[in-house]
Amino acid sequence: MVRDNLLEILKELPPGVELVGAAKTVPLERLLEAVDAGLKIVGHNYVQEAERALARIGRRVAWHMIGHLQTNKAGKAVRLFDMVQTVDSLKLGTALDRACRTEGKTLAILVEINSGEETQKAGVMPDEAMDLIRGLSRLEHLRVMGLMTMGPLGERPEASRPYFRTAAALFRECRALGLPGVAMRYLSMGMSDSYRVAIEEGANMVRVGTRIFGARTAPGEGAGP
């Protein structure tokens, strides 16, 4: 089933749009099935869960952090992930940069935009994003590779469109600036119910969980933060 779901989505995605399998709480067997069927990027929300999956699956896929990252997990995150999509403060960026220096590594990051401007949500406010990107671009061991946003959860897909538009406008604006050390290559937005709308608005990376792996049992169950 996972295999069929994956192949269907891969067939549907326009050329140039990358698929991230959002694998939180997904049993390893199912994740393996997707990887064997051609999934190239696995996204995780929790460092520990990613660590377990990586130990089993290895580096034949790219590993992306797509959940909120605490500063004290920066070292672990740098060792595990090929990309952290959720950098939303200079404090977190600085912690990642420092960990990269220790590891002798350069880390690709996306800047998470709080496109709904909801105070309780992760992400940098759109009007503060450019300052943050400039700040992050000066950190030697990080490469800003684009933007990521969530949009509202549990709404009709159409409800996400204005949020995706906000992030896409920022993406184009930032790309036009051509800041040194910044490559605006990826715009990561859209999930199972909203990836079509996101692609219409310019996403070239979508993060899909349920539509590949099936329904999650309970949010966070068995995952551990």
Ligand X SMILES: *Cc1c(COP(=O)(O)O)cnc(C)c1O
Query: Does residue 126 touch ligand X according to CB under 6 A?
Result: no
Those residues with Cβ within 8 angstroms of residue 176's Cβ, 6 or more apart along the chain or in another chain: none
The distance of closest approach from Cβ of residue 179 to ligand X in the complex, given in angstroms and rounded to an integer, is 25
C-alpha span between 151 and 149 (Å, rounded): 6
Query: Does residue 22 touch ligand X according to CB under 6 A?
Result: yes
Q: Where does this chain touch ligand X (CB under 6 A) — which range of 32-40, 118-126, 154-162, 209-217? A: 209-217
Which of 78, 190, 83 minimizes the C-alpha distance to 146?
83
Select 131 or 221, whichever has its Cβ closest to ligand X: 221
The distance of closest approach from Cβ of residue 24 to ligand X in the complex, given in angstroms and rounded to an integer, is 5
Instruction: Give how far Cα 157 sits from Cα of 102, 113, 153, Å.
Output: 42, 18, 9
Select 64 or 141, whichever has its Cβ closest to ligand X: 64
Residues in contact with ligand X, counted by CB under 6 A, come to a total of 12
The distance of closest approach from Cβ of residue 101 to ligand X in the complex, given in angstroms and rounded to an integer, is 27
Select 115 or 141, whichever has its Cβ closest to ligand X: 115
Select 135 or 220, whichever has its Cβ closest to ligand X: 220
Residues in 156-195 that interact with ligand X by CB under 6 A: 191-192
Site string for ligand X, 74-93 (x = CB under 6 A): --------------------
The distance of closest approach from Cβ of residue 172 to ligand X in the complex, given in angstroms and rounded to an integer, is 22
Instruction: Give how far Cα 173 sits from Cα of 10, 177, 179, Å.
Output: 29, 7, 11
3-state secondary structure of 43: strand
Select 174 or 191, whichever has its Cβ closest to ligand X: 191
The token pair that represents 98 in the structure block: 């420092």
Spatial contact of 62 and 41, defined as CB atoms under 8 Å apart: yes
Spatial contact of 65 and 53, defined as CB atoms under 8 Å apart: no
The distance of closest approach from Cβ of residue 70 to ligand X in the complex, given in angstroms and rounded to an integer, is 15
Select 160 or 166, whichever has its Cβ closest to ligand X: 160
Give the max Cα distance, the chain.
45
C-alpha span between 46 and 85 (Å, rounded): 13
3-state secondary structure of 149: strand
Interface contacts to ligand X, rule CB under 6 A:
22, 24, 45, 66-67, 191-192, 207-211
